[in-house]
Structure formats: C-alpha cells, structure tokens
Amino acid sequence: MNKFCTIYLSACLFVFITACSEKTNIQTNRIMNPVKKPKFETPISTEVAQKKADSIVVLMSLDEKLDLIKGHNSFFIKGYEKYGIPKVYLSDASQGVHIRESFLGLDLSDYALPKSVAFPNTLCLTATWNPNLAHDYAKSIGEECRAGGIGVLLGPGMNMYRNSQNGRNFEYMGEDPYLAARVVEQYVVGVQNTGVIATLKHFIANNTDYRRRASNSVVDERALHEIYMPAFKSGVDAGAQAVMTSYNLINGEWAGQSDFVINHLLRDELGFSNLVMSDWWSINDCKALINSGQDLEMPGGESMTNLKSYVENGEVAIEKIDLMCIRIIKTLAQMNFLDAPIKDNSYFEKFDQHEQVALQTAREGIVLLRNENNVLPITKDSDKKILLTGIYIDEIIYGGGSGEVKGYNKVTMLDALQKVYPNLTYKSEATDEDLKGADVVIVSVGTWDWEGCDRRFALTTEQEALVQKASTLNNNTIVIVNSGGGIRMNDWNHVKAIVYNWYPGQIGNVALAEVLTGVTNPSGKLPMTIEKEFSDSPAYGYVSEETSFLSDHKKYLDTSIPESELNRWSFDTSIDEAKDLLYDVEYKEGVLVGYRWYDTKNITPLFPFGHGLSFTTFKLDDVQLSSNEIAKSETLKVTVEVENTGKVNGATTIQLYVGEEKATIIRPVKELKAFKKVWLKAGEKKSIDLYLEQDAFSYWSPHTKKWETNAGKFNIYIGQSSAAIEAETKVTVR
C-alpha cells in the first residue's frame, strides 16, 4: 500500500511539474510590449480636486456660476479671489507662444511676453518622426508659457490632414492617426510637466477652413473612430486637461454644442472628464450648449444672453450649470492653480535652450524629396556660382492667424546661405542671363497658409513660371519649398532637387543651410501624401473650382498685410451668417484617408507618405517574428536589422504597416502600426524591435459599436515609406 502511494504521489508530482513547466513556457513565449506610453500625473489628485471644486460651487451665487462658464475678457477664465480661484490666461500656439498685446480693444500687455521663440510649424515637427523631440518641443513652449503667466496653451492641434488645401494643415500632425497619436501623447506630457494645461483641438473632423462655421462634415461612424479620434484618444490617455471643440458641424450639428460629439464621443467613449471649451464665437444655441457637455463658451458667452432667465424659469437645470463649474474648477485645482502662482520668471533663462530645440526640430523635419545625380550636398565654401531667387528669402515665413509666432533672433534664408556660400548671389527677379550663367540655381517658393481660409494646392502662376523657366535654362535647379502643407509640383518634378523647408521658425534656415551643405544629413519623412493633382485626392470637389481663395489674391504673398485686411479675404463667416451658407463636406472615402486612399485606389502620388531621402543609404534585412501565430490578446514582436550601407552617418525611420489578407469589411491595403527612428554610423548595423498589440489588427465595427479583430492572416510590410516596402511577412491571428 505504501509503495502504491509512493508511485501515485510521484506520478502526481511529475504531472504537476510538467504542467507548471508548460505554463512557464507559455508565459515565456508571451511577448510583453516594453514601450510604455507617456502619461501625465496631475500634481493634485482627481479626488482632492473634485472635493475642492464641490466645496466651492456650493457657495457660489447663480450670477457667479454663469460668469464662470463664460470666457472673460476674450482670453481668460474668470477668477474669484474670495474662492481662491485665479484669473487664468489662455494663449494660442502651434509654432510657439502667440504674443497678443491687445484684442478687440482690450489691453493684454500685462500677459504679453517680451519675446517667444518661433518654432518650426507642427507639421514639420511631425515630419521628424521623433516623438521624443515632440516632448522637448512642447516642454519648451510650456516653459515659455510659465514665463508669461499663461496657464492654458490652446494646443496642440491634431485634426487629420485630409485636404491638402486646408489652411490650417500647418498646425496639425499629418494624415496618419497612429503617427499623430505618438506625437500628441508626448506633446501633452511635455507641456503639462511644466505646469501648463494642454488643450487638444479641434474636436472633431475640422478638415477645411473654408467658411469653417458653415462646413458640415458628413462622416461615418467608422471613419470617426479609426481616423479622426485616435489622436484625441492618445491625448486624453496621456492626461490632457482640456479639449477645444471645432467650428464645423458634424453630420448636421455644430460640434461645440453637440451632445453626440461632446457627451457621447468625448466624454463617454474617450473618458474625458475635465475642461471642454468652445472655439471662439462657435456657439449659437446656449440651451444646446448646456446639454452638450460643454463647459466654457469662448470668448465671452455670446449665446448666453438669456441664460439666467432660462435657469430661473426651469428651462435649464441648475445642476448642469453646477457640473460645468465643477469641471472648470476641478481642472484648475488638479494643476495646482488654486494654490501656486502660474507665472515664473526663471523660465526666461531657458529661452536659449528653446532655440536649440527649434533648430533641432528643423534639422530633423526638413525633407529631401528629390536629389537627382546627388546634386546635393553642395559643400560649404564651394566655389560654384550659386544664384538664389524666389520668395520668402529675406523674410521669415510662418503660418498665419491665431498660431502666428514671429520670433526674434531671426535668421532668414538669405542670411543662412550667404554665410556658407561665398559665391552666392541673390536676385529677387533673376534675368535669363542670371539663370543661365549660374552653376546652380536655388529657387525658393511657398505658400502663406492662414487660419480661417483655405488656399490653392497649386502655387501662384508667377511662382510656377519662375521654376519652369529656371529649370529650362539651368540643369542644376534646386527648389526650396516653404509651406504648411503639400503643393502641386507635377510640372516641375524634373528639377535636380526639391527640399521641403516647411515653416522653419526663427532659426530653421540655419538647419536648411546645414542640409544643403551636408553638415546635417536630412532624415525628415513626409507626414502626409503629396498628390500629383488635387483631383486625385478624396477631398477634391468639396468646393467648386470657381471658388475664390485667399491665395488667388496677388497681395497674398505679402506677410506684412494687416490682419484686418486679410480677414476680409479669408471668406470666414460668423456663426449667424453660417446658417444661410451651410454646405456639406462629404467624407465619401470613409477610412481611406491619405495613403490609404492612394494604395487602395491604385493612384500613384507624386511623393508618398513617409518618403524622405538621405545622403546615405539604408538596408533592411533579417525580419523575424516572435511567433508566426498569435492570439488576439497577445503582442507580436517584430525584429528587423537595419544597416547604413553608405559612407555618411545618418538616420532613417523604419515603418511597419499591417494589412488584413482577407478582410470582411472594406479596409486599407495597409496601415501604419509601428515605427522607429534609427541613427546609424556609416557601415553600422543595428537590430530594432517593433511591437504590435491587438489594436494593430482591429477595426471599428458600426454593427457591434466596438473594436473587432478578425481571426486570419495579416500581412506585415516593413520599409522606409508607404511606397518603399523592403520586407514582407505574415502572421496568423487566432
């Protein structure tokens, strides 16, 4: 009997050990994504801030509550000294801190910084494909806010680049929701770690600025979730404390007063519980606003004229007013605004560091689109006779409107290039002889993009003619593009080189000179597709071809035009005028935005998403998967070896795209789901790991109202642009 028990116990022990071993092996094979998403933690906990807000609101009079939910003096949240609530200043930004001395007769000089660094525009930042740099960029802007006593930064902007004519593309982060999400989350943490509130804007589907208050974005539920919401979700998940709604209508309802947009999408689905503010003059129905989940009508509660009587006669519930006040105060309390000063003069000492961050952003964001016969680089102190002509050469070009930042210590293109090229000649109007006689012709072209209006995809007739003439008369023509988005280049894509300089900020032309001379090896990649013709775009036809744009006016190129005159050209409308000018912008392409459209429709763009050349070459090899088959809940690790096969140190961005082999619903051929920027010395090899979690394989189901993942095979594409795929493999999801 004892012998039998011994054998039995031994057998049980063997089974137990084997089972544990198998379980251990399973856990060992299960890949955990080591990449931790950034998350901002407020200095005051939500619970403490909530109690503080509750205790204050119960003491407030109705008039005080109604004043709190209205903007104060156009750019403030009203303060109440007796409740310990400070007056909080809100400042615009997309290229740095906007300096506003006055507004509509209001003196704002006490809150006007004596200077602020003009950074490259946000689309240029995204072209770096470097989220860590986005953190430093945003941190620098946050520190300048603190120096100026600014509590709320009205940024970042993150509407998708759907329409290449959109006047505010320069403020946004490109066409891909995954790329934008990775930039946004770092931006939010970078700003808020300085003690300044970041404001995610403009929620949602604000993809044209032509009569923006009258534009009705007709967009389906799936596109909203897969394309237009992910960047906002990443910002909310990263801990953003404020959101600004957009001017446009969403499926027939103004976003700023829409229960569906704010309560349903933003608050319920994305879980946002803090301050939501309207964009300036975007509300026309205060009852709708109160019921929508909105908290703060900017700039001054213009729709709330009769709100007090609505509350007193029971048409509007006081509980909803209380909730708006609580969310405002809770947000301020969480950021410690109730107990600590916002202004901190010590941050002025960091402005020199901020300039260096701006310079590094330009270095990494400049995109070399074309470089035939390696015409670039032209080394410093070259004896070649170089002719520089075109526009935006002796002035700094920037995006206009609320995001305008003029900067200081400005280095123009002329300043920067004259410093490195002793034989450079600048001619504002070059003759045929000038063009023929140069060894190299550099032509500077561009657009002046402006809030409140769209602009032509094509350059002006004069600029087109100049490039055509220069390239005809001189085989070594290089074009520098200064723009906040894509432009038409189809008729002169034969020039030797094209360099995208974006809006470079106050010091970015130094980076341009470094790239042209080879001191800096370009590593920027397009965050959007540049089509051959606007008619290739899914956005084509949103307005008629006869529509007049700001860029149709000859004075458009003059950046010294007063804002008041520009506003007359912008064709923007008031919220009241918009009622009679409503027009639909139909998002017929659904989820097929940007490269998703061009891939799926087999339309070849001029320059694909993710494209950008280098002065060296890179090779991808030895792609390995952690497993050829994974469960839906598991993480897949993709390892790839990258080699710098050239003779120059440089960086490239490895891009990983996923496509479902046999989709049960319309899906793009491929979608960006991971990327990594890699710096390599000449001849150096490095293995990098990329991780795919369940959301990399999922789609939003309009039937089940949730994210779904199909079982089956998925294609994995790895390359250096969406069109330059160098390795393909498959994984089975079960």
Domain boundaries, the chain: 46-348, 616-733
d(CA 196, CA 367): 31
Within 10 angstroms of residue 199's Cβ, the number of other Cβ atoms is: 26
pLDDT tens digit string along 91-135? 998 899 999 999 988 999 988 999 999 999 999 999 999 999 999
**Mean pLDDT, residues 35-50:** 95
The pLDDT score that the predictor gives to residue 569 is: 75
User: Over 60: is that where the pLDDT of 26 sits?
Assistant: no
Confidence label for 568 from pLDDT (cuts 50, 70 and 90): confident
Which of 3.40.630.30, 2.60.40.10, 3.30.1490.190, 2.40.50.140 would CATH assign to domain 616-733? 2.60.40.10
Average pLDDT, the chain: 94
Confidence label for 13 from pLDDT (cuts 50, 70 and 90): very low
Q: How many helices (H) and strands (E) does the chain have?
A: 20, 29
Give which of 140, 656, 161 is closest to 454, Cα–Cα.
161
Confidence label for 322 from pLDDT (cuts 50, 70 and 90): very high
The distance between the two most distant Cα atoms of the chain, rounded to a whole number of Å, is: 112
pLDDT tens digit string along 44-55? 999 999 999 999
Question: Is the separation of the CB atoms in 195 and 175 below 8 Å?
Answer: no
Contacts of 289 (CB under 8 A, 6+ apart): 256, 257, 278, 283, 297, 303
The DSSP string of 562-611 is -HHHHHHHS----HHHHTTS-EEEE-TTTT--THHHHHHTT---SB-TT-
477-482/440-446 β-pairing: parallel
Question: Is the separation of the CB atoms in 567 and 450 below 8 Å?
Answer: no
Question: Is the separation of the CB atoms in 471 and 420 below 8 Å?
Answer: no
pLDDT tens digit string along 442-464? 999 999 999 999 999 999 999 99
d(CA 46, CA 241): 11
Confidence label for 381 from pLDDT (cuts 50, 70 and 90): confident
pLDDT greater at residue 1 or residue 229 = 229
pLDDT tens digit string along 149-195? 999 999 999 999 999 999 999 999 999 999 999 999 999 999 999 99
Q: How far separated are the first and last CA of the chain, in Å rounded?
A: 48
The DSSP string of 666-716 is ---S-EEEEEEEEEE-TT-EEEEEEEE-GGGS-EEETTTTEEE---EEEEE
**Mean pLDDT, residues 299-311:** 97
H/E stretch holding 724 reads none
Domain 46-348 matches domain 616-733 at the CATH topology level: no
The pLDDT score that the predictor gives to residue 708 is: 97
User: Over 70: is that where the pLDDT of 11 sits?
Assistant: no
Could you write out the three-class secondary structure of 310-348? HHHCCCCCHHHHHHHHHHHHHHHHHCCCCCCCCCCHHHH
The pLDDT score that the predictor gives to residue 556 is: 85
To the nearest 10°, report the CA torsion of 566, 571, 572, 573: 130
**Mean pLDDT, residues 290-303:** 98
pLDDT tens digit string along 252-271? 999 999 999 999 999 999 99
The pLDDT score that the predictor gives to residue 17 is: 40
**For the chain, percent of residues with pLDDT exceeding 90:** 90
The pLDDT score that the predictor gives to residue 414 is: 98
E strand intervals along 447-501: 477-482, 497-500
> What is the phi/psi pair of residue 620, to 5°?
-105, 140
pLDDT greater at residue 354 or residue 545 = 354
User: Over 50: is that where the pLDDT of 20 sits?
Assistant: no
Contacts of 101 (CB under 8 A, 6+ apart): 107, 108, 109, 112
> What is the phi/psi pair of residue 615, to 5°?
-85, 0
Confidence label for 18 from pLDDT (cuts 50, 70 and 90): very low
Q: What angle do CA 614, 620, 621 make, to 5 degrees?
A: 160
Domain 46-348, CATH class in plain words: alpha beta
Pick the range with the lowest mean pLDDT from 57-66, 563-572, 574-583: 563-572
H/E stretch holding 731 reads strand 725-733
The pLDDT score that the predictor gives to residue 25 is: 35
Pick the range with the lowest mean pLDDT from 67-81, 101-115, 406-420: 101-115
Say if residue 264 is exposed, middle or buried (CB neighbours under 10 Å; 0-12, 13-18, 19+).
middle
The pLDDT score that the predictor gives to residue 14 is: 43
E strand intervals along 126-175: 150-154
pLDDT tens digit string along 616-674? 999 999 999 999 999 999 999 999 999 999 999 999 999 999 999 999 999 999 999 99
Burial 419-451 (b: 16+ CB within 10 A, else e): ebbeebebeeebeeebbeebebbbbbbbbbbbb
**Mean pLDDT, residues 704-712:** 96
**Mean pLDDT, residues 263-280:** 98
Residue 151: what residue type?
G
630 bridge partner residues = 733
Confidence label for 8 from pLDDT (cuts 50, 70 and 90): very low
The pLDDT score that the predictor gives to residue 21 is: 39
Give which of 146, 126, 513, 60 is closest to 346, Cα–Cα.
146
Question: Is the separation of the CB atoms in 231 and 260 below 8 Å?
Answer: no
- Which tokens in the block code for residue 533? 């013709």
CA distances from 719 to 115, 171, 244, 645, 657 (A): 42, 27, 36, 15, 8
pLDDT tens digit string along 229-257? 999 999 999 999 999 999 999 999 999 99
